[in-house]
Every structure is written in structure tokens, then in C-alpha cells.
Chain A
Amino acid sequence: MIWNKNKECMSRDELRELQGKRLHKLVDMVYHNTPFYRQKMQELDLLPDDIRTIEDIVKLPFTTKADLRDNYPIGLLATPMTEIVRIHASSGTTGNPTIVGYTYRDLEIWKEVTARALTAYGVTRGDIVSVGYGYGLFTGGLGAHYGVEHLGATVLPTSTGNTEKHIRLLKDLGVTGIACTPSYALYLAEALHKQGLSAADLKLRVGAFGAEPWTENMRHEIEEQLGLQAYNIYGLSEIMGPGVAYECSCKNGSHIAEDHFYPEIINPETGEVLPTGQEGELVLTTLTKTGMPLLRYRTKDLTALMPGTCDCGRTSIRFTRILGRSDDMLIIRGINVFPSQVENVILEMPDIAPRYMLVVDRKNNLDTLEVQVELRPDKFSDDLGRMLALRNELAGRLKSVLSISADVKLVEPNSLPRSEGKSTRVIDKRVLA
């Protein structure tokens, strides 16, 4: 099923023309309303009228996460705050969260693209969809929520947490769709089995999974355990949230809502634009956003655009599964975690040496984060209670900064590997093969 045939199945020529027009309008807007972009364009000797067609996009500057941080909190808004009707925030690298402001129109577009995604998965009016993404500053919960409502299906805003109640509601209401992280889906399946229930006791038939990397094997496992069809949903708060791209029934790559988000693949080292089919970093331009539009935003996600048309009838371009990240950001339980955030917390603790090791794993289908830190030899105390208090204090501070719980492990002084050149501070044991 296709939500918006006009846009999703547009001819490529028509689409490129539309993208060109929208890009010109966008560049005109940010040049006049966002000092950051005006300055960047002036440095490149560019005027809005130099950008006429979508091919001209390569002349424009990139935007990075660091630019968002440097312009914290609202320096990149292209409209006055009075036009902003919602704000989301995600974790940043050095304490500053990334703030994204949405106008009413932005939210309308977000609903539209999320409805497209849900329709591509086969969700219709009459379905009940449980949204198990976190509700709040994270875009997952509210993003999926309004998409379901816009489509006319019933939304069950379960959010994260209470898994027992979640299972009970899935069962008692005959919920047919679920949107959550893939790792939570597997955790839910396991909890279901522990209660002596199985997929046959539920009516789930469709799942929209995203916000963290996952694999074909996980897809098969989720599908088998929950008795549903599992689809990828892609998004990032800087660009919009879930709905930027989505799989269709072919399950062969995610379609980008290209009339709103223009994709490019670049060599992450050189910034050079790569031809379709080659692997590189995904760069997205928000063609229609008005609150906080971004030019050529470097997502750090590594993927490749797929040549050719899809059997589903959509003409919008697809990208392959996300192959990795071009920076050191970790995605744990759907939350962005930067090693530098951990480092900052550790540096604030005088009893802990300024070294650490992060061990990310997946236990019982849930991501886990272990933070190993060295005790300073002169801060060792014979009092076990004091040692535990130190550990708990660090765990509490990490939780407040990272928004996820970490298992803090005190290790012996001088036992963590010392850096020789590039130090290994992260061990990711999650097997994504």
C-alpha cells in the first residue's frame, strides 16, 4: 500500500525538478534567516541564486553535529521562536544536547512521512499500534505516535518501561502493530515466553523497528518470535525523527522520503560526493523544513544508495542497511552515547583515574553498557561501603548524563590498557552479523 502515490511514485525527472525548486527556496530562506548559513555561504562566495537545480547542491557547505553544538541552543533556527511549536533534544558529545525546533508545518510533514512509512508496512485504519519508543525529548515516541494518528489507526502510547503491562495490553486489546527498537522487540518476545505465552496469544502482524543498528538475522528472529513482519524505519532528530526513510514490503533497502529529504553519499574523509551504489557517509538536506532546516547534514551513518527502481512501485531512492558509523558514537538502547560524555563525567570524579573502557554487549536481547574505571591507588579505602558509594556515585552521574544506566566496574589501578597511538576505549560485543 502507498500513502501518497503522487509523491512516492513521482517520475525521477519530475522529482528532481521539485527537489531543485525546493532547494532554491530553502537556500534563500537560510541565507536570509540563519546567520550561520549566510556566513558560510559568503565564505564560499555563494548567493541564493547560484543554487537553481538540485545538481547545484554540491556547491553548498556541509553541516555537522559540531555546528549544531556550537550554535546551541537555537542558533540554527530559521524562524523566530514564536513560530516554533515543539522542541526535541538528543545527547551531544560534550554536554551540550542537540536542540531541534519544529514549526507547525514541520510537524505536519513529519506526520506525513511517518504515515507513509506505516502504510508501506501495511498498517491501515483499524490497526492498533503500540508505540514502545521512549516518549519525551527523544523523537522516537512522539514521532511514531503522531504518524499512527495521522494515518487514522489507533495509537497505544506504551513508551518504554513496564514490559508486563505492555504484554498485557498487547494481548487484551489485540494490538496488531508495534513500533520500538529491535532490541526491545526481542526483549519483549523473551518476556512473553517467560509468561508462558507465545506469538499465537497476540495479534501482532507488523513491526516498525529503528533507532539502532540491526541485522537480517535479528529481523528473522523478531519475525519468528513475535509472529509479525518486521520493517526498518530510519530517522534522526537533527533531520526530523523516525520517518525520514522506511522499508516497503520488498524489505530490500529503505526508501527515502526524497521530496522532503535529499540524500547524498560522500567519502567521509574527503567530503567528495560518491556515485550511486558506492558506500560512504549519508548526507541529508531538509528540503522543506522551516524550523531548523539543515543543508547537507552529515549523519555519520555509513550506507550506500541503491540504483534501480523498487518492485513496490515507489520511485524514491533506497539505501542499504546502515553498515556502521563514521564516528565513535554508540547507539545503545536507541540512545546516542559518545565515549567523550563518559570521559567528562570521569574527569569530574577526583577518586577515579582519567581512564576508562566501555564494554557494550547485548544480554537477554537488551543492550548493556559496562563502564570500567580505575581507582586512584591513593584513594583506595579499606571501607567497603565507601568504595561502593564511590561506584554508585559514578553510576548515578553517568545515568543523568547518558540517560541510560551503566554498570560501573571498579578495576585495579593501572590495569586498563594504556593508549599507544589510537587507544581502544570501546569494546562492542554486540554481534550484528
Chain B
Amino acid sequence: MTIKQLSVFLENKSGRINEVTKALGEQGINMHAFSMAETTDFGILRLIVSDVDRAVEVLRAKNFAVILTDVVCISCPNVAGALAGILERLARHDVFIEYMYAFAQGDKANIVIRPTDLNECVKWLAEEDCNILCDRQL
């Protein structure tokens, strides 16, 4: 019920993100979503891609520091208050979220969540009838 997210260490240098997107693009790997966490001198680029194993291979060959992280992705209607409803339920169950990012398309919105306790989070989401996505559904 979880999906693999790709995390890439990046220095704050112009052109660096492009190196990643270009390398993936050349290999026909599509990016479904990404977010960037940054500090003053480095950042972590987090990606959900179409072929995660190939992506790791491609980026490591180019000397990027890459790791895989388990995250949970849920789908909800792209309407006002939908996310609030989900987060409120998670908060009620004391699920702590380290970071999250979302992308909306048409009438659907997908939300990537990295909780501190993944199993606990998945359990509550399932119990609350949230629509958890697997790799194939992206």
C-alpha cells in the first residue's frame, strides 16, 4: 500500500535540478510528482517516477546520492475541504507527518505523505476509507 519515493541530494547550484530531469527524460522515465526541500546550501529533491529502479540506476551512474523512501499516496476529490477532512482524521489518530506534497489534476488530487510511522498511517487511512494508491495507479 506504499510507494517508493526517490530522494536525491542536491547542492544549491543553478542547473542541478535540470541534470536530474534531463537524465531521467533521456531514459524515458516519467515524473509523476516532485517536491524540493531546501536549506541555504543544499536540498533534497523528492520524486515519484514511473520506473523507480531504473531511475536509481541512472542517477547513481551520474554520481548522485540517491535513496528510496517509502511514502503513502492517497487520492481525494479536487474540491475545497477534501484534504482538510483527511488530515483532520489523521490528526485524530495522532499520526505525525514529516512532510507532504500534493498535485491536482482535473477532478482528482493526489497527496504524497511521509509519516513518521508508515504502518500506523496506512492502517488509519484504510480504516477511514481513504483511497490509497499503489504504483500502478499513478
Contact = CB atoms under 8 A, between A and B. Distances in A.
Given A383-B98, A415-B11, A410 B41 contact: yes
Contact of A388 (B7, B39, B98): B39
A410 B39 CA distance: 11
Interface string B62-99: 01111101000000000000000000000000000010
B41 A414 contact: no
Interface stretch (A262-270, A327-335, A374-382): A374-382
B124 to A, nearest CB: 22
B69 A387 contact: no
A381 B9 CA distance: 8
B104 interface: no
A409 interface: yes
B67 A411 contact: no
A309 B68 CA distance: 73
Contacts of B60: 377
Contacts of A377: 60, 63, 65-66
A377 B56 CA distance: 12
Nearest to B7: A382
Contacts of A48: none
Nearest to B114: A382
Nearest to A415: B11
Contacts of B42: 387, 409-411
Contacts of A375: 9, 65
Contacts of B11: 410-412, 415
Contacts of A383: 98
Interface of A: 375, 377, 380-384, 387-388, 409-415
Task: Give me the 4 closest cross-chain CB pairs, A-B, nearest first.
Answer: A380-B65, A382-B7, A377-B65, A382-B69
Given A382-B5, A413-B64, 19 more contacts: A375-B65, A377-B60, A377-B65, A377-B66, A380-B9, A382-B44, A382-B67, A384-B37, A384-B44, A387-B9, A387-B39, A388-B39, A409-B42, A410-B42, A411-B42, A412-B11, A412-B65, A413-B65, A415-B63
17 contacts: A375-B9, A375-B65, A377-B60, A377-B63, A377-B66, A381-B67, A382-B67, A382-B69, A382-B114, A383-B98, A387-B9, A388-B39, A410-B42, A412-B9, A412-B65, A413-B64, A414-B63
